[in-house]
Amino acid sequence: MTSQDVVVSERGIAAGAALPGPGGPALFACRSAAAGAMSMRQTYLDIAAAAAAARSASCTWVEAMRSSSPTRSSRSATDVDEFTAWVRKHPSALSKFEQIAGASKGKKIVMFLDYDGTLSPIVADPDAAYMSDAMRAAVREVAKTFPTAIVSGRCRDKVRNFVGLPELYYAGSHGMDIKGPSSNPESVLCQPASEFLPMIDEVYKALVEKTKSTPGAKVENNKFCLSVHFRCVDEKRWNALGEQVKAVIKEYPKLKLTQGRKVLEIRPSIKWDKGKALEFLLESLGFANCSDVLPVYIGDDRTDEDAFKVLRKTGQGLGILVSKCPKETNASYSLQDPTEVMEFLLRLVEWKRKPSSSSSMMIRRPRV
């Protein structure tokens, strides 16, 4: 969203200058008046064009916020057809489970999971995004079976407290803060944006002050990045909130502004994202360039696309998008919500354990 300055044209201000040709003062006055009228018309057109550009920029910004934050209202027949076509392109990981299992045979699965919208439902208050006990039990079983990492835009310590499983790898701040299992004091640690910490803290304070006039807006400090949540903001105020955020960020060219599901994200402008975090973790685990490894990444947000792109580019691994709405994505498969995510995780664990276990040893699904 670019600030638009209305620039008034100054063409024809010197319209009273002498004009060549016959006619004397009368013709001079006539030509002067005509030039002045044309100048005024041009000025009006310039103002109108600038105002239209400003409106267009605002509409584009708000439309982008809407597109990144789809509603969950009932679908029309057209919406259903569109979703059906989208699912054909990105089929359900549950309906295509046998196909996924077949691709996994003889390979070491490494699991990467987003948190909000994937393991926990999206809720109005980001501080209340708790995962269910059933989901926690499912993730615990996954971690017993496969190397597992949580990759989130949240502060690493916060998402670790939400999940409550110390045996996992955690990549917070969109992968800019990575730590291995707490049982291993020598475990992997990666913080490529450490130099930005003072700047992030400074911008956090400025955003809190700037957005306090917008009811429902909430600024979250995720250590190496910031989130401005607008889930509880009246849609009529989205544009004003976006302007407030832009007004702060424009003073910090080393930071960039992106959008997620009803959240604006402020991050350091470095070449690091969830895709880089995925690559770093695979290398740290000793799986870089291994043909017998199958990374599986499940996420619901735009920021997860960076990881999906890595998997698609390498042609090795599975990206699964969690969404009830059609979205442009580099993921190969889809799931609709955290409940389906839990179902998929449990089926994958059961499949993996089946060859060495009797049917009586199959995992009992936790009650939701």
Active site residues: 114
Count of residues for the chain? Answer: 368
Edge-to-edge strands, sheet with 177-179: 189-190, 177-179, 169-172, 148-151, 108-113, 293-299, 318-322, 333-335
Please give the Cα distance from 92 to 109 (Å, whole number): 19
Q: Cβ(151)–Cβ(171) under 8 Å?
A: yes
Count other Cβ atoms within 10 Å, centred on residue 220. 19
Query: Strands 263-268 and 293-299: what pairing?
Result: unpaired
Q: Read off the amino acid at residue 142.
A: V
Kindly give the residue spans of alpha helices, DSSP state H, lying in the chain: 24-67, 77-89, 97-104, 133-145, 156-163, 197-211, 238-249, 274-284, 305-314, 338-353
Count other Cβ atoms within 10 Å, centred on residue 81. 11
Please give the Cα distance from 242 to 178 (Å, whole number): 30
CA 321, 333, 101: angle at the middle one, nearest 5?
A: 125
